[in-house]
Structure formats: structure tokens, C-alpha cells
Structure 1
Amino acid sequence: MNPAATPDSPDTGGTANPEHVMTAEERAEYERLRRDAAVRHRGVRRAGASVLVLLALLLAPVAVVAAWVQETVSDTDRYVETVAPLASEPAVQEAVINRLTDRVVDNVDVAAVTDSLTRALQDAGAPPRVVEGAEALEGPLRSAVRSVVDRTVSRVITSDVFQQVWEGANRRSHAAVVNMLTGDGDSALRAEDGAVKLDVGEVVDEVRERLVGAGFDKAAAIPDTDRTITLFETEELGKAQDAMRLLDILGTWLPVLTVVLAALAVWTAPAHRMMLIVTAAGVALMMVVLLVALAVVRRVYLDSVPSTALPTDAAATIFDTFVRFLRDSTRTLLVLSLVTALIAYLYGRGRLARAVRTTAGRGTTAAGRALHRAGMSTGSTGHRLAEYRAWTTGGVIAAGALALLLWNHPTVGAIALVLGVGVAVLIVLAILAAAGEPADRPAERVPG
């Protein structure tokens, strides 16, 4: 039944009116309205996708930095892992050795030693030449003291003991600061009523036990009250805690929001593959911008640190070590974006993409046929692999994406490994598909 036909009312005896056939002008107008509606619909989708991808690209570097800061600031293990290599850096070790040596030598009054020796020689009636020689000993004696102190300090700083002390001190201090800012946990350093207080209860207990052990029995009466010391009071403490909570939220949800916006942009766009290429290339560009910004910040930091306070090489080492995980994450996301854009392009209709696919197909087909001729046919399994090649390819790509998603802090090397394994698996599957049984020939049609 033609839907354009309109049945008569029952009163007319059931006879139907003649079918209404569109004229050429009506058909042309109908087609024009349909095209206009489709164009408007595609325009709205394109505009919405453009807004979404723009938001995603603007948030991408901020999300990377927020995630790095949140992880470094709130996670004690990650923080210690970040600063631990500084204890074994020669430039940092040299700066620490010089600083400690200067402190120790400054506390040694070499002039008082030489003056005491001079007076002793004068009182003993020593010849003037001997007394003058004793006065001239200040310079060599100071140099000898510095040499001994420097050698001793160097031996300690370059040993494993300093590495252990460095990590332990950073772990304790970082955990205390995090607990104070978040108000969580039970640490010696805590915030109460706008004041930062240090709990010395363990110290009080230790002192009391040692005094009692030494024979001071009355020390057992030391009260348990006043076991905290107020270090400082500030009105900005609440703001610092609010900033810590905001950072915790941003570091967790801002990357998720960025990924969701990018996915919505690709899904909304009329041309999904092209939008995926644009999004991936845009993220790669933003990661390059972030790397350039880090280089600029590094230069500004080195220029702002006086050489008298910290040598330039030590300052550069500290900066590079502290931001190395941020750089690694940025480079990883840059490479991942480029790989995604390349894969999306190879699935397209470009001349280079078609040439790559054709070359790869010919190579795997030739290898599979060679296996088949050598008697190593994959049979019906190979035929099924060839029939469902799109599904197997999608499964391999999904498995690679899942591996990177579950990888703990993936690096560029991890991406290269997953990409290499994925390409190798696709090549093997293509060869196995080409080595299978050929598709059944269609049955011959009987004439007549």
C-alpha cells in the first residue's frame, strides 16, 4: 500500500481517492528542504564539536600539571621517589658538603687557639721568633681544620647513610605537612584553631623514662599536660587547607573531565575520524607548549637563584629532578597523541594511507600464501580471521589501550613496547588469515 494514498471515509462506500503523486516542483522542494535540514544539523554538530575540542585542548596542559602536583604533594611515597635521587647527585652533594664544612669551620675559633698558644709561649719565655711563628700558624691551622672537616663530611655525604637519612627525613617531613594541610592522619605536626602545633608527647615520655632510669625518681611526676608546642599562628592556614582540598579535587577530576570533553568532541563531530585526528594533533601541540613553558620556567628559576646561595649546577639539578615526572608525563602524552593521530590517519582514504595499507596487505598475503603452499595452512581458523579482520584489529587496539590505561605511570618506552607488540600481533594475525582456507566458491548456476 502506498502511504501517499488516502482512503475514503466509510460513507463513500469504501472507494479510495486516486493516489497523490508529487509534481517535479514539489519533489525538488522536498529534496531542498531535506538538504537544508541536514546541512543545519551537521553545522550544529560541527560547532558543538569545535567548542568541546577547544575546551579539551585548553584544559589538557592544566590537567597534566594539576595531576602531577596533586600526586607529588599529597602522595608521600611519590614525593620521596621524586626527591630521592638528589642525595646521589654530585652537584647537590658538593653543595651540601661545602655548606656543612663552612658551618663547622666557622664554629671552630682557630684564632683563639693560636692566641692561647702564643701566650703560653710568651709565659714560658720562648724566643721572639718562636712566638711570631706561633702567631703565623692561624692560616695553616685553619686550612688543616677545613681539610679534615671536608674529608669527614664528604665521607658521610657520599655514603649510603646520607641516602637513607635523606629519604627518611623527607618522608617524615612530607607526611607531617600533608597531614597538617589535610587535617587527616595522626602526626606530630597538626593544625588546630588557626595554629600549627607540634606534639612533643613522645619526647616528654622518653625524657621522663631516662630521668627515672638515671635515679631521678621524682621525674615520674612530670604531668602529661602541655604536651604540645604552638609553632605559629596564622589566619592563612584555613586558606592553605582549602587550597589543598581544591588541588585534590582538580588533580583527580580535571584529567577525567578533559578526556570526557575530547571523547564527546569526537562523538559529536559529523566526521569522527577527522575529529579524532584534530583532537590528537591538538593535544600533541599543547604538550609541546607545556614543554616549552617548563624550559622557560627553568631559565627564570636559575636566573633568580643567587650563585652565593646555591651553585647554578646544583640548582639546575634540583629543578630537573623535581619536575622530571611532569616532563615524562608530558612527553608520554605527546607521543601517545601522535600515535593516535597516525593510526586514525592510516584508517582514512588518503593516498599515503592507502599505499601503506596496500603494501602491508600484499606483504602479509604473500607470507600467508607461502605458508599455505608449504603445507602450514591455518584452515577454517584463518578463513574466520580474514572474515572478521575488523573485529580482530579493533580487539588488538582495545587491548593496547587497556594495557596503557592499567600501566602504572606509563612512559614513552611503555608506549613503544605496547605499539610494537600490537603491530606484531596484527601482522601475525594477517599472515594467519592469508594462510587459511580460501572462501567457498559460489555454486555454478544451471542454465534454463
Structure 2
Amino acid sequence: MNPAATPAPPDSGGASHQKHVMTAEERAEYERLRRHATVRHRRVRQAGSSVLLLLALLLAPLAVVAAWVQDTVSDTDRYVETVAPLASEPPVQEVVINRLTDRVVANVDVKAVTDSLTRVLQDSGAPPRVVEGAESLEGPLRNAVRTVVDRTVTRVITSDAFQQVWEGANRRSHAAVVNMLTGEREGAVRAEGDTVQLDVGEVVNEVRERLVDAGFDKAAAIPDTDRTITLFHTEELGKAQDMMRLLDILGTWLPVLTVVLAALAVWTAPAHRVMLMITATGVGVMMVVLLVALAVVRRVYLDSVPPTTLPTDAAAAIYDTFVRFLRDSTRTLLVVAVVTALVAYLYGPGRPARAVRTATNRGTTAAGRGLHRAGVRTGSTGRWLTDHRAWTTGGVIAAGALALVLWNHPTVGAVALVLGIALAVLIVVAVLAAAAGPTAGHEDRAAAP
């Protein structure tokens, strides 16, 4: 619709034909309808972006847990790395030492030894005081046996050889984790009814062999049964197994789906930078929620384990060891979210953001000019960097993001390292651009707002 009147073309037969000229009322109505369409379009985009953001935030904690489960179950090295510290945890070692010592001492019939000694003394006509003294040897003898057994077991459990045996056994029985999650009754870690148990059979064999070699022939009678330690007891194990199976299946695609939804939320929103800042902040909040949930689950787990089954410090060591990589991943994503939100804010029009950009530009410009006056001139390269500053900045940020994506299990330290390198590269690029020296055209662009 054109408000201007235009004359008819020459071949129109000379007829005077003009297009309709909008009146003031018609133009006002036209502008109102156009604004309404624009507002409606923005509202639709905002609504769609909000729905995508909500889905991404709800899936973010599940995606982290699913990736952790899938990674721990499918990667043998990762699984061994997860459970290996248990062999060197003092509370866990103390539990294993006490359990094995009790079982060995229970198989040594000290009373039979003292009774036999008493009969021999009686038959040989020893004085009554000597016979009574032999009868009272049961307690000291039992304590002596326990001391020797405890020393032997402790030497085995705290040795490097035990840690190697532990890691080797877990590497060979990596399928035990899958069995526990799926309810199978095989492997070192398995589900028995509503309990999860740890099989220490190989440790028992090692201790039994060491005791027999040390002269305790009775240790050969240590039974092959009752070789498990209950890790935890819960009536919700069946539901947890179902959830773990689902998370294992979705472990590969759920994180991808979450990232895609978050990217679509940012791309669909009318204000991309603002939505990126909101998305990063929301992801950071969800990671905090996940950390709080892990702390709550830890408390519930410790409360559900009777002290007679497993001491609290040992149960805490087991829980913390198993979920430490999940905690590390959650903290890493929290730091990445905070950094992303901060970068998005610094690119905005806020007064603090402008102050930071201004101070940075002044610093790099002063450093570049100092190099220029010292005879270090970057010439055309520096001018090219000045003309393509947005592209170089975006390239450095993309390279940092790609490095984190390709990093095998990045930690908070890895994020800090990549961030530091990216900032250093951006500063160097800015200094090199300023060291080119101003030209007429570049001075005009530098003076432009």
C-alpha cells in the first residue's frame, strides 16, 4: 500500500489514473495494524522461547545425571577410577578389617585349646593352682589370637597389593554395576531384594591365604558364605533401578536434546543476548538445585543405613566416592553457566558493562600504542584485526567452547584454564590491533560511538 500518488504510464492511452492516496485516518489505522502484527509476532516468539527454555531447564539436571550414569556404566576405566579410592578410604578399610578379623577369630576354637591344656595338666598331676591358671587362659589367648589376626589382616588391607587387587577385581567385574542397576544377581555390586551389597569374596580369599601361610591353619576353614557387605537398604530400590535404566537409555541423547532446546530458546527469542543471559542463569540455578538434591540424598542415605550394618563414616565415604564425578560435572556446568551469563551481560548496554569495555579498550589501546612508539608495528595485520574484531572475538570464544566440548571430563580447573587462555588471546589480539598505528579511516572509526 503506497500513500503517494503516481501518474499513469505513457502507454495507458493517456488516461489519467492515480493510485489511492491514504488519508490521515487510513494511515493511522495502517500503522496501528502494523504495530499490532509486530507485537503479536514478538509475543509468539517470546512464548515459544519461554516454553523451550522451561523444557531445557527441567531436563538439565536429568541430563547431567543421565550422562554420569551412562558414562560410569559404559566406560570401564571411568568405573574403575570411580571405585578405586574405596580401597584406600580408612573408614572402609576399618570395616573390612573388623569384619574379616571377627570371622577369622570366630573360626579359631580357643576354648578347645584351653580345655585340652587343662586336661593335659590334670592328667600329668599338676597342682590345682596351675590347672586353674590354664583354665583362665582363654581370654588372654583369644585376645592374642585377635591381635595377631588383626595385624595380619590390616597389613593385607592397607598394602598397595590390596589396592591393585581391588582395582583388578573391579575392572574384571565392571558388569556388576550394570547388574546392580538392572537387578541382576551377579558381580561384585548387586541388588538383593531391597538392599545393595558389595561382594568382598576376593578379599576374603587373599586374607585366608595370608593367614594360612602365617601358620593359622584354622583360617582355611573360613566359610565361602556371608562374604557381602550391605551398602544400603531402601524400599525404593526397585523404582530407583527403573529410573536408572531409563537414564542409562537416555544418557546419550538427553544431554543433546537439552542443549538443542536451550539453543532454540535463545535463537527464537526476540532479544538473543538477553535470552542467552537468562538461559545461562537458569542452568546455573538448576545446577545449584542438583547439588542441594545430592546433599539431601546423602543425608537420607546415611540415615537409612543402621550403624550395626555400616558405620556412618564408612557409609559417607562410600557415597561421596561414588558420586564425586557427578558433583564435579555439576560444579563445572555451574561455572560455565556463570561465565556465559557474565559474558552475555558484558556485551550489553548496562553501565557497568560499558565501563568494563571502556576500561579494557583504553588499556589495550595504551599498550598497543606503547608498542607502536617502541618500534613494534603490526601494520596491515593489525588493521585487519581492527576491521574484523567481532569475527576474531567470536572465533576465540568458539575455540574456547570447542576445547571444553572436546575435553575429556572437564573440571572447574579446566574451565578456568580455558577461560584464562581465551582472555589472554583476546587481550593480545586487541594490543596487536592497536599497535598497527592509526590511519585516517581507522581514526574516524575509533572515534565513532
Shorter-chain TM range is: 0.7 to 0.9
For the residues of structure 2 that align with 1:115 and 1:179, how far apart are their CA atoms? Answer: 49
The residue type equivalent to 1:78 in the other structure is: R
The residue type equivalent to 1:372 in the other structure is: H
Q: Does 1:356 align with 2:388?
A: no
The residue type equivalent to 2:387 in the other structure is: E
The residue type equivalent to 1:114 in the other structure is: T
Distance 1:441 1:173, change over 3 A: closer
Which is greater in Rg?
A: 1
Pairwise CA RMSD? 2.6
The residue type equivalent to 2:156 in the other structure is: V
**Structure 1 residue 287: Cα displacement:** 0.5
Contact 2:69–2:244 (CA<8 Å) still a contact in 1? Answer: no
Contact 1:53–1:279 (CA<8 Å) still a contact in 2? Answer: yes
Distance 1:416 1:53, change over 3 A: same
What is the correspondence of 1:249-268 to structure 2 with a 5 Å cutoff? 249-268=249-268
**Structure 1 residue 180: Cα displacement:** 11
Distance 1:177 1:415, change over 3 A: closer
For the residues of structure 1 that align with 2:337 and 2:28, how far apart are their CA atoms? Answer: 46
For the residues of structure 2 that align with 1:241 and 1:62, how far apart are their CA atoms? Answer: 15
Contact 1:86–1:318 (CA<8 Å) still a contact in 2? Answer: yes
The residue type equivalent to 1:351 in the other structure is: R
Counterpart of 2:431?
431
Counterpart of 1:315?
315
For the residues of structure 1 that align with 2:254 and 2:349, how far apart are their CA atoms? Answer: 35
Percent identity (aligned): 82
What is the correspondence of 1:61-100 to structure 2 with a 5 Å cutoff? 61-100=61-100
**Structure 1 residue 438: Cα displacement:** 1.6
For the residues of structure 1 that align with 2:321 and 2:180, how far apart are their CA atoms? Answer: 25
Contact 1:346–1:354 (CA<8 Å) still a contact in 2? Answer: yes
Contact 1:379–1:437 (CA<8 Å) still a contact in 2? Answer: yes
Instruction: Provide TM-score, normalisation by structure 1.
Output: 0.82
For the residues of structure 2 that align with 1:96 and 1:400, how far apart are their CA atoms? Answer: 46
What is the correspondence of 1:48-447 to structure 2 with a 5 Å cutoff? 48-175=48-175, 178=178, 246-441=246-441
Instruction: Provide TM-score, normalisation by structure 2.
Output: 0.81
For the residues of structure 2 that align with 1:333 and 1:103, how far apart are their CA atoms? Answer: 46
For the residues of structure 2 that align with 1:278 and 1:364, how far apart are their CA atoms? Answer: 30
Counterpart of 2:227?
none
**Structure 1 residue 280: Cα displacement:** 0.4
Counterpart of 1:30?
30
Distance 1:170 1:318, change over 3 A: same
The residue type equivalent to 1:154 in the other structure is: T
**Structure 1 residue 439: Cα displacement:** 2.5
**1:312-361 CA distances to partner (integer Å, 9 max, x unpaired)?**
11111111110000000000000000000000000000000000000000
Distance 1:124 1:16, change over 3 A: farther
Q: How many residues align?
A: 389
Counterpart of 1:222?
none
**Structure 1 residue 19: Cα displacement:** 3.7
For the residues of structure 1 that align with 2:54 and 2:41, how far apart are their CA atoms? Answer: 20
Q: Which runs of 5+ in 2 are unaligned?
A: 189-238, 443-449
Contact 2:302–2:312 (CA<8 Å) still a contact in 1? Answer: yes
The residue type equivalent to 1:390 in the other structure is: A
